[in-house]
Structures are given as structure tokens and as C-alpha cells.
Amino acid sequence: MEKQLPFTGILSDKAEENPDFFNWNRVKLRYCDGASFSGDGADKAAQLEFRGQKIWLAAMEELMSKGMRNANQALLSGCSAGGLASILHCDEFRALFPGSTKVKCLSDAGLFLDATDVSGGHTLRNFYNGVVGLQGVKSTLPRTCTNHLDPTSCFFPENLISSIKTPLFILNAAYDVWQIQESLATPAADPQGHWHECRKNHMKCSASQIQFLQGFRNRMLNVVKDFAKSPQNGLFINSCFAHCHSERQDTWFADNSPVIRNKAVATAVGDWYFNRAAVKAIDCPYPCDKSCHHLVSK
């Protein structure tokens, strides 16, 4: 928990860094509950309390009392676990405000897929199953999902995004490096170490490994297909090996930012939020995009 965090990208207060939102009230909500602000359970024997949902509600209550209730427009955004939180809490956030307030949600790098890993297993589903069970997440998940699917499935955005009523923008790298490293090609799923180099640096992937990752991208595009049909929703899926674009200045809005059809992430999100243009931007597959800021792990 750093004492100070730089407000960059979508959080910047400089017009040249954040053209559409620089003069907004910007709040960063600290996250440490481990279930995207959705846990509501306890393991009394182990003296563990999981209170993500109550933390979320307490934070919202405080912000509303500080003046957020008077907002003309609001945007709930987050990156990674926060991107999942902005999906899980989107309609809930909308309900805090009067109908006349313009409210939308942005999920950055939150599109965690229920994907098959390199061994044919389901690493992320198994992990999520543990989180959902341990933290008692079921009671806080959207009923529109839990009334027909198991709670773990309802922690995956692919089973939530089509039933969210509030306008939502999905911003994600098609080759999400967190998912490559923590879901698809974990050391446990790759005991022989065939993916050891590729999982950390896409330049070291073999043709067949790139082919596997193209399958992951195809899966992602399939997941957003129906979601993208709704005119109120927005989409920006670039073909980068990255994770989180909105809070980093170099990937949000800079001279050499990643673009799709010459449009930077900040411009795409602004066009969508203010209804200047419909934004359904899907990049051609790797390696066609030369504007990417690829992440390579040491």
C-alpha cells in the first residue's frame, strides 16, 4: 500500500494527458479484499473475514455523501481485478444515481476468460472456484446469472456482460499477458517448461504457441460478439501483449500510444462516453499492429 500513487492516464488532471476527463473529480478506490469487492463471507475457525462487498458499499456511501450524489455524469472504471469489479458492480453503481445522471462503466483488462490452459485444464476456473467458495461471493453476484449458472461461472465476465443494463466499455489486449502467465501457461500447466520463454516474451514463442494464442484471441472475440451488438456498449480490443491501458500515460494518450484505425484508447473511450461516435474497435491479429507497447517480463 504505497503512501502516494501517481494519477496518470485516465486519472490525470492535465488536458494534454487526459483530454476528456482531466477536469472531473477522480477517485482511486484502494483494493485489497482479493475478490474484486464482491466477497461477503467468513471462515470463523481460521479467523478470516471477507468483506469486499461491504467495503465497496462503505466507499460508495462516503463518496456519495462527499458530493458524488450531485454528479451530472459518472464513470466507474478499473483495471485488472478493478476491471472485473467495474463489471460486477456496474448496474449497482448506476442505481446509486438518479435517472437523469449519465452513468457508464469501463472495464480495462478485466475480461478474464474461462479458458483452457496449455495442458487442457482450467487453471483460472479452479482458482476462481476457490475464491468464490472461500469468500462467499455467491450472495453478491448478479441474480440474472446465478439463477441459471453456478457461482464460479458468474464470476467470469463472459457470463455477465450481455445482461448488464448500464452502458459498458470493454478495453482489453487480445493477448492479455496476465492471462497468458497466470491462466494459460502457468508452470503447473507446463511441467516440461515448453512455454517457459514464450509466457514471458512473445518474441520467443514458436509458431504453434502463437497459434494457441490466436485461439485465445478468437475465444475473446467470440465472447464479446453479442455484447458488441448493443449500440450503447463500446469495445477496444487491440492485438498487443499487454495488461491495462487506461491508467498508464504511454498507453492511454501520448504521441506514440497504441491505436486502432488511428484512434488512441483515450479518444475511443471519450468518443463512446460522450456519444461522439460508436466505438467497436477490434484489431487485426498479431503481428499486424505496430503501435503496441508490448510487455515483456524479466
Along the 298 residues of the chain, how does pLDDT read in single tens digits? 889 999 999 999 999 999 999 999 999 999 989 999 999 999 889 999 999 999 999 999 999 999 999 999 999 999 999 999 999 999 999 999 999 999 999 999 999 999 999 999 999 999 999 999 999 999 999 999 999 999 999 999 999 999 999 999 999 999 999 999 999 999 999 999 999 999 999 999 999 999 999 999 999 999 999 999 999 999 999 999 999 999 999 999 999 999 999 999 999 999 999 999 999 999 999 999 999 999 998 8
Tens digits of residue pLDDT in 139-149: 999 999 999 99
- pTM (predicted TM-score): 0.97
Q: Put residue 52 in one of left, alpha, beta given phi > 0 → left and psi -120 to 50 → alpha.
A: alpha
Domain of residue 136 covers 9-282
Identify whether 294 is part of a domain: no
Catalytic residues: 80, 176, 243
Identify whether 293 is part of a domain: no
**Helix residue ranges, H only, 66-206:** 81-88, 90-95, 123-135, 143-146, 177-179
Identify whether 290 is part of a domain: no
In angstroms, the CA 202 to CA 211 distance is 12
Q: How many domains does the chain have?
A: 1
Identify whether 73 is part of a domain: yes
Joined together, the cell numbers standing for residue 16 give 494534454
pLDDT for the residue 43 = 87
pLDDT for the residue 1 = 83
Identify whether 1 is part of a domain: no
pLDDT for the residue 2 = 87
The answer to whether the peptide bond before residue 287 is cis (omega within 30 degrees of 0) is yes
Identify whether 32 is part of a domain: yes
pLDDT for the residue 207 = 98
In angstroms, the CA 174 to CA 184 distance is 13
Identify whether 295 is part of a domain: no
Handedness of CA 208, 172, 18, 233 (dihedral sign): positive
Burial pattern 97-131, b for ≥16 Cβ within 10 A else e, equals beeeeebbbbbbbbbbbbbbbbbeebbbbeebbeb
